[in-house]
C-alpha cells in the first residue's frame, strides 16, 4: 500500500515539473518575440515580407489557324530577346503566301506591259510626227519653187498648196501635243502600276515575316506560363504563353495600416532577396485598406534603380523600411 502511494506521489511531481517546463518555455518565447519587436521599435525600422513581381507581362497569341510543332521553353525559363519560344506549322499562312507571291508577279508583269506599251505608243507618235514634218518640208519646198517661178502653176493650185501646208502644220502641232499628252499619261499609268506593285510587295513582305513560324521573345524576360502543347491545333488569338520583362521587376508587400503615416513615396528601403541586398524606394502606396481578421494593411510597391537581372519572378523578398 505504501509503494502505491509513493509511486502516485512521484507521478504527480513529474507532471508538475513538466508543466513548469512548458510554461517556462512559453514565457521565454514570448520574451524573445517581445524583445525582437522592441528592438525593431528601438532601431526605428520595419521589416516586411514581399514578393518579386513583373511590371510588364506580355501574352503572345497566334495570328492564324495552325498547329504547334515545337515548344522550346517551359515556365520559369529565362529567355533573351529574339529567342525562339514556340514553333508553329500554318497551312493558312502558306496558302496566303503563295497567293501573295502570284499577285506580286502579276503586278511586275503589268508594270512591264505598261512600260512597253508606253514606249510603243511613243515611238508610233514620233514616227507619225517625223513623216508629217517631212511632208510639210516637201510641201514648203514645192511652194517656194512655185513662188520663185521654177514651176508654172495656176493661182488656184498655189492656194491649194498653201492650204495643204496649213493642214500639215496643224497635223504636226497635233502630233506634238499628242506625244506630250501620251508621255504624261504614260508616266501616270506607270506610277499607278508601281504603286500597286509596291503595295503587293509590302503585303508579301508582311506575310513572309509572319511566316517566320518561330514565335520569338519580345524582350529579355522570364517565361511565366505556357498554354499550349506540341501537336495542338490552334486558332487566331489563341494564347501561346506569357512572358515577364526582367528589366522592370518590383517587390509587392503589405504595409501595416498603423505604419502608413511613417512611409511615403520615394522612401528609401533595403530589400534582401536570397543572399543579396538591393537598395530600393517606395513607388506606390495603395489607398485601399485590406483586412485579414483584425489586421489591416495596404499594398506597397518597391522599385529599384538597377534592374534585378538575376532574380526569379515570385522570389520572396525581405523589405527593411527605416521609419520616420
For position 124, what pLDDT does the model report? 87
- 124-152 exposure pattern, b = at least 16 Cβ within 10 A, e = fewer: ebeebbeebbebbeebeebbeebeeeeee
Tell me how far CA of residue 116 lies from CA of 107, 121, 186, 187, in angstroms.
14, 9, 10, 12
| 149: confidence class by pLDDT, cuts 50, 70, 90 | low
The C-alpha atoms of residue 163 and residue 224 are separated, in whole angstroms, by 92
The C-alpha atoms of residue 96 and residue 102 are separated, in whole angstroms, by 10
Give the chain's mean pLDDT. 80
Residue 145 in this model has a pLDDT that exceeds 50 = yes
- Give the three-state DSSP class for 291: strand
- For residue 139, give the H/E element and its range: helix 91-147
Instruction: Pick 161 or 123 by higher pLDDT.
Output: 123
- Give the three-state DSSP class for 117: helix
Query: Which residues are 87's β-sheet partners?
Result: 70, 214
| 131: confidence class by pLDDT, cuts 50, 70, 90 | confident
Query: Which residues are 223's β-sheet partners?
Result: 243
| Averaged pLDDT for residues 276-283 | 94
For position 16, what pLDDT does the model report? 45
| Total Cβ atoms within 10 A of residue 297 | 19
Amino acid at each position: 500500500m505504501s509503494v502505491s502511494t509513493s509511486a502516485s506521489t512521484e507521478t504527480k511531481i513529474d507532471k508538475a515539473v513538466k508543466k513548469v517546463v512548458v510554461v517556462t518555455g512559453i514565457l521565454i518565447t514570448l520574451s524573445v518575440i517581445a524583445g525582437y519587436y522592441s528592438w525593431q521599435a528601438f532601431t526605428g525600422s520595419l521589416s516586411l515580407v514581399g514578393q518579386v513581381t513583373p511590371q510588364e507581362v506580355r501574352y503572345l497569341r497566334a495570328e492564324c489557324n495552325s498547329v504547334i510543332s515545337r515548344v522550346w521553353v517551359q515556365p520559369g525559363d529565362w529567355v533573351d530577346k529574339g529567342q525562339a519560344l514556340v514553333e508553329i506549322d500554318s497551312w493558312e499562312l502558306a496558302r496566303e503566301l503563295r497567293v501573295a507571291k502570284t499577285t506580286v508577279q502579276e503586278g511586275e508583269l503589268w508594270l512591264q506591259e505598261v512600260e512597253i506599251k508606253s514606249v510603243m505608243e511613243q515611238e508610233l507618235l514620233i514616227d507619225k510626227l517625223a513623216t508629217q514634218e517631212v511632208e510639210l518640208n516637201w510641201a514648203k519646198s514645192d511652194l517656194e519653187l512655185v513662188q520663185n517661178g521654177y514651176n508654172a502653176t495656176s493661182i488656184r493650185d498655189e492656194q491649194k498648196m498653201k492650204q495643204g501646208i496649213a493642214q500639215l502644220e496643224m497635223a504636226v502641232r497635233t502630233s506634238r501635243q499628242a506625244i506630250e499628252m501620251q508621255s504624261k499619261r504614260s508616266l501616270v499609268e506607270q506610277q499607278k502600276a508601281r504603286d500597286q506593285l509596291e503595295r503587293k510587295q509590302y503585303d508579301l513582305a508582311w506575310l513572309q515575316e509572319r511566316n517566320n513560324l518561330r514565335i520569338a521573345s519580345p524582350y529579355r524576360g522570364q517565361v511565366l506560363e505556357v498554354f499550349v502543347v506540341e501537336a495542338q491545333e490552334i486558332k487566331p488569338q489563341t494564347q501561346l504563353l506569357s512572358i515577364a520583362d526582367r528589366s522592370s521587376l518590383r517587390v509587392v508587400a503589405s504595409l501595416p495600416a498603423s505604419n502608413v503615416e511613417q512611409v511615403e513615396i520615394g522612401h528609401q528601403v533595403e530589400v534582401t532577396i536570397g543572399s543579396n541586398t538591393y537598395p530600393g524606394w517606395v513607388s506606390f502606396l495603395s489607398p485601399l485598406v485590406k483586412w485579414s481578421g483584425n489586421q489591416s494593411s495596404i499594398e506597397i510597391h518597391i522599385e529599384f534603380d538597377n534592374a534585378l537581372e538575376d532574380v526569379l519572378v515570385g522570389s520572396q523578398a525581405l523589405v527593411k523600411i527605416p521609419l520616420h
